[in-house]
Amino acid sequence: MTPTLRTKLPAVGTTVFTRMSALAAEHKAVNLGQGFPDFGCDPKLQEMVGEAMRAGHNQYPMMSGVPALREAIAAKIDALYGHSYDAAAEITVTAGATQAVMTAILCCVHAGDEVIVIEPAYDCYLPAIELAGGVAVPVAMQVGADGYSVPWNQVAAAVTPRTRLVVINSPHNPTGSILREADLHALADIVRGTDMLILSDEVYEHVVFDGGRHESVSRHPDLAARAFVVSSFGKTYHVTGWKVGYVAAPAPLTSEFRKVHQYNVFTVNTPMQHGIAGYMHDPEPYLGLPAFYQRKRDLFRDGLEGSRFTLLPADGTYFQCVRYDAISPLPEAQFAEWLTTEIKVAAIPVSAFYSKPTESGIVRFCFAKKDETLALAVDRLARL
């Protein structure tokens, strides 16, 4: 008889992404739910990984990451955001961004510490806080005709003497909004003179549209001095299944981060690291990413322009949020299921990104798909 195990995550079940992808497969629906491309990466990147394998780079690398990759990451951050991280002491390669987020939270959040989380929030934040013994303090974004925005006065009001960490995400999943310079200044005003830390999830850093500038925390010295900045090669190079990301943080924070990192993954896929390091010598793949995805965003938006969906602004990421109140009174989860089973297009209910039931009448589509995939989805959705 199997002993009873008391769960550490009583509120956690199968993720909404897994459920909706399974439903899409069952009903042969176009899957615009889970956020991954249905197209391949650059064959040159694949070849570089193959070359690394053939060159014998198949054993454990350094715990913190292959030096050439950490140096390439540091050089990129310096070139784009003007912040100089020490590649040896302040850059750590991780097994994707989710592991980076989990490790950052575990290394700095103690039992009873409070963590401010901006909602809707990517679904790995809250379980990580709970596993660390922390207390999540959600602050809901405001949503109107101009899209989503962070109410910084409410963030400031949520701060207590127990606040240890603020988690931010820009470009933002699921809303497609971005933080601008004024937002970062507002955050700086909140944390100034405190011991609060920042976890900045920037996995879509290279997917900002309409000539906008990604406001990395790394651009702002006062914020960078207290921040774990997370990014992901999976999002940048269309290789989400490789699960390679990184964290940039000041040396004292990195030292604590690596204490946990070495025991929850130790290190990360060696040939992938060598291949990505070589591929990063050419910045064009990430510098050209905004135009690549903006074309897909515009293709998707133009196709829905005359429909009964109300399109919210999509300033970054490869997600488009829409209101559907002119189509159905159903709650978001039920509407997403109906859309998948009856219209044969899968979406994700934005309500799934809140800690408590929150209905806004909004679902999220992913447009990181082949043009023919988007065309098929638009044809079905525009009939509603």
Last residue of a domain, one of 227, 262, 285: 285
Q: Is residue 325 part of a domain?
A: yes
Distances (CA, A) of 380 to 33, 344, 384: 15, 8, 8
Closest Cα partner for 244 from 274, 272, 213? 272
Beta bridge pairs of residue 364: 321, 348
Q: Are residues 209 and 257 in the same domain?
A: yes
Range of the domain at 195: 44-285
Last residue of a domain, one of 255, 285, 315: 285
Q: What is the pLDDT of residues 218-245, one digit of tens each?
A: 999 999 999 999 999 999 999 999 999 9
Q: Is residue 220 part of a domain?
A: yes
What DSSP designation does 313 have? P
Distances (CA, A) of 103 to 222, 246, 254, 298, 304: 23, 11, 11, 36, 40
Euclidean distance between CA atoms 73 and 246, whole angstroms: 8
Q: What are phi and psi of 314, to 5 degrees?
A: -125, 90
Q: What is the pLDDT of residue 25?
A: 95
Tokens of 72: 């390439």
Beta bridge pairs of residue 148: 143
Q: Are residues 171 and 68 in the same domain?
A: yes
Q: Are residues 37 and 49 in the same domain?
A: no
Tokens of 291: 């135009």
Q: Is residue 9 part of a domain?
A: no
Residue-wise DSSP of 44-72: HHHHHHHHHHHTT--S---TT--HHHHHH
Tokens of 59: 């054993």
Compute the C-alpha angle 65/80/276, nearest 5°: 35
Q: Are residues 97 and 120 in the same domain?
A: yes
For 200, residues 6+ apart whose C-beta sits below 8 A from its C-beta are 168, 169, 170, 216, 217, 223, 227, 228, 229, 230
Q: Are residues 280 and 165 in the same domain?
A: yes
Entry pTM: 0.96
Q: Are residues 148 and 171 in the same domain?
A: yes
- As for how many domains the chain has, the answer is 2
Q: Is the N-terminal amide bond of 349 cis, ω within 30° of 0?
A: no
| Average confidence (pLDDT) per 10 residues, the chain, 384 residues | 92 87 96 93 98 98 98 98 98 98 98 98 96 98 94 98 98 98 98 98 98 97 98 97 98 98 97 98 98 98 96 98 97 97 97 94 98 98 94
Last residue of a domain, one of 285, 318, 333: 285
